[in-house]
Amino acid sequence: MCEEVTLGMIKAAATRIQGQLHRTPVMTCSALNRISNKQLYFKCENLQKTGSFKARGALNTLKTLLETGVKPELVVTHSSGNHGQAVAWASDALNLPCTVVVPEGTPKVKCQAIQGYNAELVFCTPTPTGRKETADRIAKERNGVLVHPYDNYNVIAGQATIGFELLQEVPDLDYIIVPISGGGMTSGISLAAHYMNPECQVVAVEPEGKNLQNCIDAKERLWDNPPQFLNTIAEGIKTQQLGQLTFPILCNLLEKVITVSDKEMADGCKIIAERMKLVVEAASGAAIAAALSNQCEFMNGKKVGIILCGGNLDMDALPWQIVN
Ligand SMILES: Cc1ncc(COP(=O)(O)O)c(C=O)c1O
Q: How confident is the model at residue 8 (pLDDT cuts 50, 70, 90)?
A: very high
Q: How confident is the model at residue 2 (pLDDT cuts 50, 70, 90)?
A: confident
Average pLDDT of the segment spanning 244-249: 98
CA angle 131–133–135, rounded 5-degree value: 70
Q: What residues does ligand 1 touch, defined as CB less than 6 Å away?
A: 52, 54, 80, 82-83, 149-150, 179-186, 236-237, 281, 283, 309-310
H/E element, 246: helix 246-253
Sheet holding 256-260, edge to edge: 26-27, 39-44, 303-308, 175-179, 201-207, 256-260
Helix, strand, coil in percent for the chain, rounding step 5: 50, 15, 35
Is the pLDDT at 80 greater than 80, yes or no?
no
At a CB cut-off of 8 Å and minimum separation 6, what does 51 contact? 82, 85, 113, 310, 311, 312
**Could you give the dihedral angle defined by the CA atoms of residues 219, 222, 227 and 231, in that order, rounded to the nearest 10 degrees?**
-100
Domains contained in the chain, CATH given = 7-52+156-322 (3.40.50.1100), 54-146 (3.40.50.1100)
Give pLDDT tens digits for 32-58. Answer: 999 999 999 999 999 999 999 999 999
Active-site residue, selected from the candidate residues 38, 43, 49, 54: 54
Q: How confident is the model at residue 314 (pLDDT cuts 50, 70, 90)?
A: confident
Average pLDDT of the segment spanning 9-13: 98
Q: How confident is the model at residue 71 (pLDDT cuts 50, 70, 90)?
A: very high
Q: CB atoms < 10 A from the CB of 204, how many?
A: 31
Ligand 1 atom with least separation from CA of 188: 10
Active site residue 54: yes
Is the pLDDT at 110 greater than 90, yes or no?
no
CA gap 42, 297 in Å, rounded: 18
Ligand 1 atom with least separation from CA of 281: 1
Instruction: List beta partners, residue 258.
Output: 205
CA gap 128, 227 in Å, rounded: 6
Q: Looking at residue 159, what is its pLDDT? A: 98
C-alpha of residue 86 to centroid of ligand 1, in Å = 12
C-alpha of residue 237 to centroid of ligand 1, in Å = 5
Average pLDDT of the segment spanning 18-27: 98
Is the pLDDT at 108 greater than 90, yes or no?
no
Is the pLDDT at 138 greater than 90, yes or no?
yes
At a CB cut-off of 8 Å and minimum separation 6, what does 322 contact? 233, 266
What does pLDDT average to over the chain? 96
Ligand 1 atom with least separation from CA of 179: 4
Active site residue 49: no
Q: How confident is the model at residue 128 (pLDDT cuts 50, 70, 90)?
A: confident
Residue 196 · residue 286 · CB < 8 Å = no
Is the pLDDT at 231 greater than 80, yes or no?
yes
